[in-house]
Each structure stands twice: as structure tokens, then as C-alpha cells.
Amino acid sequence: MIPITDDVPSKRFPIMNWLLIISNVLVFVFMLTSIDFANELVSQLGIVPKRFLFYCDIFEVATIFTSMFLHGGFAHIFSNMLALYIFGDNVEDRLGHFGYLFFYLLSGVGAAAVHIYLNQNSIVPTIGASGAISGVMAAYVLMYPRANVLVVFPILFIPFTFVLPSIVYIGVWFLSQLFNGALSIVSNVEAFGGVAWWAHVGGFLSGAFLLPFFLVKRSRKKRTYFFLTIII
């Protein structure tokens, strides 16, 4: 199922969400200039669990963040940026511009931590914004469970469009990540099908865990601003 749009309009321009999308696209275009250069970027700036755990330094810690802006192909970046475009603007609405950026990055950190923990001996670089975006999707469905998502589902190469509640679409998506993650453990494959499923699960759970703290912080800021406005 490919999401197309949702029915929750943004109340303000999601500048941070667009900056994230543009940054990811620009890095991807930059990687297209040379295959050898792209491979070197992935090798050096992607997360390598074994290298991170046994040769950890400031540079290795930085790969948690640099890996979020690298993608392995057109399908990879398109699916990630599409999901970020659809769900990110509304989350930014509720968390504020910088709160949203911090939330996004922390979700990515959570995703990386779970992936590293479950693949401690892996020497395969892991890249992509999927973990951070999974956290955004968790925040979206928790804040907008009654929203609707227009999706496309191809059957025998014929695209069918229909509307699903966000809780159904994202719920099915999360269960599929969990199922494939379990398969990767059973089959003893660190990234079953070339996808770091547990990073997605980790990012989603991190986002769900972090959201209440960001909402409380945001509401306190609003109350403080209102109080100061009254005094002035």
C-alpha cells in the first residue's frame, strides 16, 4: 500500500519538515555523481554495528545522524520522503519547528540503538531516514487516530485507491515491520530482504515513548507565553 495523502490540513507551513526533505534529496543527488563516491559515503557515514560497538569514537557516534541522510536508491528515498511529506507536517504542527526536529532526530537515535543491539556483529552499513520517519508515524497516529489516509494498492498491475483510517494503515504497517523483523531473527539474517526492520520498529517505539514528553513541554511553553502576554 502506497500512501498518497491524508485529510489533516497543516495550520502553518512545515518549514522543518521541508528542510529535512530537501536535505535528504540534495544528499541523494550528490551521491549520484559517482558510484564509487556513493559507496565510500555509505561505508564511512553509515552505521556499522560492530565498528560502532568495538571502535567507538566521536566519528562513530556521528554516524547515527549522518546515516539518516543517506539512501540506497530511488525507491528507498522516494518511499521515505513521501511518508515524511504526508505525516511530518502535522506532527510539526503539534510539536513546533525545533521540537519536531529534535523529536525526529531522537527517534532516529532510538532506531539506531535497537538495530545496533540486535546486530552487534554486523559489518554491513545501515543507512536511511526510515527509523526517524517511523517515529514520526507513531506520533501521527497517536495524535490523529481518526485521520484518514488515501492509499494506492496495485492488484495485477491495476492501481486501486481507497481510504483507510490512519490507525489501520499505520497499524498494519507497524505489524508488517514487526513480523518481518521476527522473520529476520528466525532466519538469522540481519536485514531480511535488505531492510533493517528492527530499526523501523525501534524508531516507531521510540517515537511513541517520546511523544508525551514533547507534548507536555509544548503545552508548558504555550501557557508561559500566554501568561507573559497577559502581564505585558
Give the model's pLDDT for residue 157: 78
Strands lying side by side in the sheet with 158-165 = 2-6, 148-155, 158-165
* pLDDT average per 10 residues of sequence, the chain (232 residues): 91 96 96 89 94 92 96 93 97 96 98 94 93 98 95 84 94 93 71 75 97 81 47 46
CA geometry: angle at 173 spanning 1 and 212, to 5°?
135
The C-alpha atoms of residue 181 and residue 192 are separated, in whole angstroms, by 7
Give the model's pLDDT for residue 225: 40
Question: What are the structural domain ranges in the chain?
Answer: 2-231
CA geometry: angle at 143 spanning 208 and 102, to 5°?
55
Looking at CATH, the fold of the domain delimited by 2-231 is given as Rhomboid-like fold (1.20.1540)
